[in-house]
Structure 1
């Protein structure tokens, strides 16, 4: 009688088998912890169901810092520490090189959230641990740029974004020490337009046409470098205008950015049938023109009326709609492929992706509603509903051996 050997049990030891395992596992935990605190804080502020301390710095700024410099970078460093060696034909990183990055980002966010809950030293400790994780990650990635034989421009673009992010992180630390709110403001704006958006665009520019070319018959990849360069220039113009509070002139950058985003969507989008795992990438990308349309419209309205319509709606079209959608799509794809499973969208991934679209719309519409605080809390709770089943599934995969028996 033939009997199959028992399936290996999940083990935390497997987290160190590859950078994406450890960093995505930490990112998944950071994602839920960050939004659990933010949801509880919003609900406490709106309905007084329980008491939540008002942290110093202000909770809204702290939320932006956690999402920009701790939660999303957990996934970003996991991806870059995996793909940089492959893009440049270099050996894969050993375990000791990336484990400290993960520990810094997880420990940093945990300490920060404990600080938000009342442990006063936690905010500073969290910033220091986060800075250590960032320096560890950049310290592993940067030398690859001069060790490679050729020139991988996408890697250099990603590194430029990381260095902007490092600058923003240092500004946050300066804010905590000197309590100058302008440092916090600059840190948050740099995190958006100097770090996250250029990096997301770089990865999309390199990977989306590549993925489509592998599965869509007759697809011709289009990814000229001038598009990426133009995005960089215009995003930096937007950033400078934001830093100087020149909101009435943001449209000078945002209208061309809208045009570039429409062009990218038109050229990238496959004309033939495509599997769901590919479709979600392009649906996520379609949030980008809407984001810049909202930013441009807000700027023009401010120039004409002096009223700052839409509030944080454009920012959340970007963060929830674009960043959130592409996060689900890319992490699901990497997880399926690097765990030896078939490339498809599992049901929990579809649930997360569809719910992110709903949450994005809720958060945007909420800016126009009389009770914005309630809409913010509902959207935050929706985020938790969207991601919890997905996080539980991918977390178990990172703790389990590859289904095809290969290492990594």
Structure 2
């Protein structure tokens, strides 16, 4: 009688097998830690039975900084440190080159959260570690760009967004070091439209038609570089108008962005039968025109002399709806494929994806509800409920070797 095959052991050493393993594990951990703190803060603000310590940085700004510069960039660096060598035909990075990036980002997040909990040195030290992780990550990716013989425009687009993000990171750190609060606002604004949106759009432009072409019969990929260049032009215009506080005129940038996003969604959306792992990519991408339409509406209402009726609703349609949905879709795809598992949506991923659609609607609607604080707090708790089972599953996968016995 044959002895049963031993189950693979969970080990921290498996995290160092590939950049995406380490960085996705860090990002998933940060995803829950950051939102747990923010949910507690919102709950205490609305129902003061729970007292949260005061922070040296306004909690809302700290929340924006952590999500834009630590949580989502952990996934971004993990993805780019993995795919840059493949896009450029270069050797994969050795672990000594990406481990410091992960250490800086997880260390920065932990220290910032300890600072938010009352540790005096936590926030300054967290900023230093965050800057260190970012600097090493940019250096490694930049060296790959220099080593490339040709020109991979998607890689250069991602690098341009990362450099804008680095400028925003430094601006926020300058505020923490004593500069005017306008530096914090500069950092927050660059994080959304300067860093995250261009990277998400660049990756979608390169990868989504490719994924669809491999999964749907008779699909014709469409990814002209003029479209990506045009998107960048109007992103830059949006940033210039917002930094100049001309929010009533943002529609001049956001309406063309809306039209470009509708064109892309129409051209990219497969007309045939789609597997679930592909369908969630395009459903998530549909939040892009939704969020841009809300931005346009907000701007036009302000231009006509009324107040900003939607508050932070358009931003959260973008951050929770688009970024959150595509995070689940893309990370699940990478995790399944790079762990030797079938390219399909497991039930826990479906739960997270469907739940995050509900969370996004809750957070957008919260801005127009009579008790906005309660809705904001409940949407943060719902975020935790949506992501926790999914994070537990993918976190365990990164601690295991590949199922097919291959490296990575």
Assess same fold via TM > 0.5: yes
Normalization by structure 1: what TM-score? 0.99
Moved over 6 A (4+): none
Cα shift at 1:396: 0.5
Deviation at 1:309, TM superposition (A): 1.1
Deviation for aligned residue 1:145: 1.1
Distance apart, 1:146 and its partner CA:
1.9
Q: How does 1:9-24 map to 2 (within 5 A)?
A: 9-24=9-24
Q: TM-score with structure 2 length normalisation? A: 0.99
**C-alpha displacement at 1:306, in angstroms?**
3.6
Aligned-residue RMSD, C-alpha: 0.7
Could you give the per-residue CA deviations for residues 233-281 of structure 1, whole angstroms, max 9, x where no partner exists?
Answer: 1011001111111011101001111100100100000000000000000
Specify the alignment match of 1:213 in structure 2: 213
Q: Is 1:288 aligned to residue 251 of structure 2?
A: no
Post-superposition shift, 1:5?
2.5
For residues 405 and 120 of structure 2, what CA distance do their matches in structure 1 show? 47
Instruction: Note if 1:96 corresponds to 2:126.
Output: no
Cα distance in 2 between the residues matched to 1:278 and 1:4: 36
Tell me which residue corresponds to 1:375: 375
What displacement does 1:48 show? 1.4
Q: How many residues align?
A: 408
> What is the Cα deviation at residue 55 of structure 1?
1.2
CA–CA distance in structure 1, aligned partners of residues 344 and 385 of structure 2: 22
- Where structure 2 has 5 or more consecutive residues not aligned to the other structure, the ranges are none
CA–CA distance in 2 between the matches of 1:18 and 1:230? 34
3-state SS of paired residue (1:4): coil
- Matching of residue 109 in structure 1 with residue 109 in structure 2: yes
Secondary structure of 2:304's counterpart equals helix
Q: Deviations over 1:80-111 (max 9, x none)?
A: 00000000000000010000000000000010
Query: SS in structure 2 opposite 1:48?
Result: coil
Partner SS, residue 177 of structure 2: helix
Q: Please tell me whether residue 50 in structure 1 is matched to residue 50 in structure 2.
A: yes
- For 1:180, the equivalent position in structure 2 comes to 180
Which digits, 9 at most, give the CA deviation of each residue in 1:176-218, with x for residues without a partner?
Answer: 1124110000100001111100010000000000000001000
**Structure 1 stretch 173-182 or stretch 205-214: which is displaced more?**
173-182
CA distance in 1, matches of 2:280, 2:5: 37
Q: 1:49: how far off?
A: 2.5
| In the alignment, structure 1 residue 302 sits paired with structure 2 residue 302 | yes
Answering whether residue 402 of structure 2 is matched by residue 402 of structure 1, we say yes
Q: How does 1:304-383 map to 2 (within 5 A)?
A: 304-383=304-383
Inter-partner Cα distance in structure 2 for 1:82 and 1:392: 22
Alignment of 1:46-195 (within 5 A): 46-195=46-195
What is the distance in 2 between the residues matched to 1:56 and 1:32? 22
Query: Would you say 1:29 and 2:29 are equivalent positions?
Result: yes
> Could you tell me how far apart the structure 1 residues matched to 2:47 and 2:26 are?
31
| CA distances 1:42-98 after superposition (whole Å, capped 9, x unpaired) | 001101131102312100000000000010011000000000000000000001000
CA distance in 2, matches of 1:237, 1:133: 29
**Structure 1 Cα separation of the partners of residues 157 and 277 of structure 2:** 26
CA–CA separation in structure 1 for the residues paired with 2:204 and 2:374: 34
| Counterpart for residue 251 of structure 1 | 251
Provide the rounded CA distance (Å) in 2 between the counterparts of 1:34 and 1:13.
Answer: 25
Q: Any gaps of 5 or more consecutive residues in structure 1?
A: none
Mapped to 2, the partners of 1:224 and 1:178 lie a distance apart of: 45
C-alpha separation in 2, matches of 1:130 and 1:306: 40
Q: How does 1:221-236 map to 2 (within 5 A)?
A: 221-236=221-236
